[in-house]
Structures are given as structure tokens and as C-alpha cells.
Amino acid sequence: MSSPYLLKSRHGIYYFRLVIPVPLRVVIGKTELRRSLKTRSKREALLKSARLLLEAQELLGSAEGRGTGSDPTPAFTGATRPPSNTTLSAPVPTLSQFFESYRQFQLVQGVSLKTLDDKEAVVRLLLFICQDKRIDYYTIGDAKLFREKALLLPPLALRTLQKHPNKVLSDLIGKVEPTISITTYNNYIKNLSTIFSYAQKEEILYSNPFANMRIKNPVRVSSYRDVFTPSEVALIFKKTSHYRESKQSFKYWLPRLAYYTGARLNELCQLCKQDIKLINDVPCIHIQAVSPNQRIKNSSSERAIPLHSKLVEFGFNEWVENQDNQIFPMLRYSDKHGYSATPSRWFGRFKADIGLFEDGAGKKDFHSFRHTVADELKQKGVSENLIGGILGHTTGGINNTRYGKDFKPEVLKPVIELLAHCR
């Protein structure tokens, strides 16, 4: 959904514009709120407009007569105060209108575009099934109808609807097998419940119809994504060995880094020279978000992972020294995917080319390296807290330190060395 609050002048400058609902125009004294954002950058304009939208909503809310003694919102001077005897209520937004303000507020909070696009896709699906209406008009009946229809959809339904917005549900339901998994459905509900919960906090609605709509999944969480076997890791290393000195050297390094760190794909793709450092005399890879375009999933994700001796043997330190700043300068950044888009697409094709197809109930993709590390350490008796310290999971217990979170690098070093020395 493009922002309905942004306009672009013929000079390329973005403006914020909000049309005042007809019942409030006499009270506010304006037909619209308009302000220059003084930028040609759409991303910057979205962030600025999110702040203005919140201020505008406060101004509209004051028309209820609750704040007749307060000054007008500073960003929109010139608007009149509502009379003390007004009984007008601020208009309740439709779901699509509410999601637009929610999306912009989340951008201000630093939520990634990919996460917001995923939520938007599920909102689109709800609009397909139950139509767009005031957000407080959605009921438990709508939630049940969503469940009924969503569980009949094929796995790529959201992508199909995004590419072909003119399609109807009957074009998708019952056309192919299999349908979406319970895990996928529960992820849909999680996103919708989060959005409606935010509307509750904003006092726009009283109850969340999607709060208890998840389905208990009989499949164990550990089986959702399979781990790599030692022979598969060896095969991946063998088939990527010739990329070491090529212009696509990320194909050599990323699988090896993933196997010996358990780090997420984008955490590795965005590494800079300053992230490879000595901490308490232990060579480490510092997963952090301090350089431009670096980002991490949450505060627990910042961590120092001791450098495995095998990575040193592979020559990783020498590789880092030969780079100017970014460890993988051939990778390009995007707001939605960070630096991981190209490597993710490559590994998807690569695993098929070497015959590494899905096996069993789960699936195998680049993220399977992370599951492989967790499983291998678990099988060797490593505690959950120590595994969490390496993977960047919240583990509780010991107070966080600046670099090591729950555990210092010298504590994690012997743990990381337990990972098998594949070639």
C-alpha cells in the first residue's frame, strides 16, 4: 500500500497531506492539513510523515471535547480549538487506513521493511476475505471466516495476490495441493493479532478478535526446518571451494561462516572490518548494528562470537585485512532485505543444483546452518544458555556485558570449537 498522506511536488519535494473528515471541518477550521517535509527522499518522508500523522490524530482526537483547554498541535498551527460543548467523536479508521498509520509508526521504531511487507500481505488477505471496514467492526465471526478460508489456500497465495491483485479467492482455493501449513496460518494470525492489539492500545477498539485464533500444531518445532548432515556440509564446502578467489567470493565464505558461527544470513552479509576484533584477547566476530545499513533482529542479537580455529585456517583474517570496509563489498543493500537478497537467491538455486532437496517434514535452506549449529551443540551436551549466547537468543540468568551479552568470549570459545572440523 502506498502512503495516502504523501504528495510529491513538481520539484520532487514531498508533502504531508491529510484530508479532514467532513464532520470535523467546522471544528478544526480547515478542510485539510498540509505541510512540506523538505526532503526528496521517500524513506525520510515516510519517517517524517509518521510523526506528523500522530500529531494530526491528536488534533482530530481533541475534537471529542476532552482537551478543550490544550493548545493546537504545533505542527498544524492555525487550527481552531474545538468548542467546549462539542460531542463529536474522532472518526474510527478502516483497517486499511489504520494499517497505513501503523506501518509508518513502525518504520519510526526501526522495524524492517520486510517485516512490515509481510504484515501488509496478511492484511491484504484479510481484506480479500472480509472486505475493508472500520477496524472496530471486525468480530470473532470475521476471524473464524478468515481461518476457514486461509487454511484452504496454497502456500504461495500471498505472493500470488500481491502480483495479481485482481484475482479472487476462488481462483486460489482448492486449485492445488498442498495447502498452507498450520505454522504458516499461525504466523498470519500472529501478525493480525499484533496489529489489532496495537489498535487496542490506541483505544480504538475494545477486544482483539484474533487474540485466540491460533491452532495447536502437533508437529514439533524442531522439525520445521531440517539440519544439515555432516556429509551435506562437506558437499556444500566442496562445491563452493572454487569461489574463494572469484568476484563472487561470498559463495565461499558465507556457508563456512554460517556453519562455524550459527549467525543469520544478513548478520554475516553486513559485516564490516571493524566487526572483526579482539575482545578480552579472544578473536571475535561482533554482531552489531553501528555502521550505516547494519541492523539486527533485536537487542539480544548483538553478541560476540569467538572466531572458530577452522575459519582462521581458511584464511578469514587475511581476507578481512584485504577489504577496505565491508567484508563482502560485492553485495548491495536494499531497505527490505539488507545485504542478503542476492546470497539468499543464490543458495536457493545452489542447493537444488547439488541435489540438496527437502527431506522429511522440514525444509533445508541457508537458515538450516543455524539449526545445525544449535543441534550439534545440543547433542554434545552444551547448555541452552550457552547455545543462546552464541545464537543471540535471550537466555536470562547472568547480567549482560557490553560485548558478550550473557557470556564473555573466553567462556564461549571452547563451546564454538566443539563444532566439527568439516573441510
pLDDT band at 71 (very low <50, low <70, confident <90, very high): very low
pLDDT band at 253 (very low <50, low <70, confident <90, very high): very high
pLDDT band at 404 (very low <50, low <70, confident <90, very high): very low
Helix pair angle (113-130, 140-150), 10° resolution: 100
Say if residue 268's pLDDT is above 90: yes
Tell me the C-alpha distance between 216 and 227, whole Å.
Answer: 24
The string of pLDDT tens digits covering residues 180-206 is 888 889 999 999 999 999 998 888 888
Say if residue 133's pLDDT is above 80: yes
pLDDT at 313: 93
Give the amino acid at 344. S
Helix (H, G, I), strand (E, B) or coil at 363: strand
Tell me the C-alpha distance between 214 and 188, whole Å.
Answer: 9
The string of pLDDT tens digits covering residues 74-118 is 445 443 333 333 333 457 889 999 999 899 888 877 788 888 888
Peptide bond between residue 209 and the one before it cis (omega within 30 degrees of 0) = no
pLDDT at 219: 56
Helix (H, G, I), strand (E, B) or coil at 405: strand
Contact residues for 386 (Cβ-Cβ < 8 A; gap 6+): 377, 407, 411, 412, 415
Tell me the C-alpha distance between 163 and 397, whole Å.
Answer: 47
pLDDT band at 305 (very low <50, low <70, confident <90, very high): very high
For 102-111, 215-224, 278-287, 305-314, which range has the lowest pLDDT when averaged over its residues? 215-224
Q: How far is CA 361 from CA 3, 77, 181, 184, 222, in A?
A: 40, 60, 11, 14, 10
pLDDT at 369: 93
Give the amino acid at 280. N
Say if residue 63's pLDDT is above 80: no
- Grid cell at residue 419: 563444532
pLDDT at 82: 38
Q: Which secondary structure element, helix H or strand E, spans residue 195, and what is its range?
A: helix 182-201
Beta strands in 332-382 (DSSP E): none
Say if residue 356's pLDDT is above 90: no
The CATH homologous superfamily to which domain 230-416 belongs is Intergrase catalytic core (1.10.443.10)
pLDDT band at 233 (very low <50, low <70, confident <90, very high): very high
- Grid cell at residue 348: 536457493
pLDDT at 360: 45
Beta strands in 140-289 (DSSP E): 276-279, 282-287
> What does the mean pLDDT of the chain come to?
81
Range 143-165 average pLDDT? 83
Q: Which residue has the higher pLDDT, 68 or 354?
A: 354
DSSP class of residue 156 equals: T
Say if residue 236's pLDDT is above 90: yes
Range 254-270 average pLDDT? 95
Range 46-62 average pLDDT? 78
Domain ranges of the chain: 6-91, 96-218, 230-416
Nearest to residue 390, comparing CAs of 273, 245, 282, 284?
284
Tell me the C-alpha distance between 310 and 19, whole Å.
Answer: 61
Say if residue 223's pLDDT is above 70: no
Beta strands in 53-113 (DSSP E): none
Contact residues for 318 (Cβ-Cβ < 8 A; gap 6+): none
pLDDT at 287: 93
Residues in the chain: 423
Q: What is the DSSP secondary-structure string of 73-88? A: PGGGTTPPPPPTT---
Tell me the C-alpha distance between 306 and 169, whole Å.
Answer: 50
Most confident of 217-231, 310-324, 355-369: 310-324
Tell me the C-alpha distance between 70 and 74, whole Å.
Answer: 11
Q: Which secondary structure element, helix H or strand E, spans residue 50, and what is its range?
A: helix 42-61
Q: Model pTM greater than 0.75?
A: no
Give the amino acid at 311. L
Helix (H, G, I), strand (E, B) or coil at 213: coil
Q: What is the largest CA-CA distance in the chain?
A: 78
The string of pLDDT tens digits covering residues 11-50 is 788 888 887 776 676 667 777 788 888 888 887 788 788 8
pLDDT at 218: 65
pLDDT at 52: 81
pLDDT band at 207 (very low <50, low <70, confident <90, very high): confident
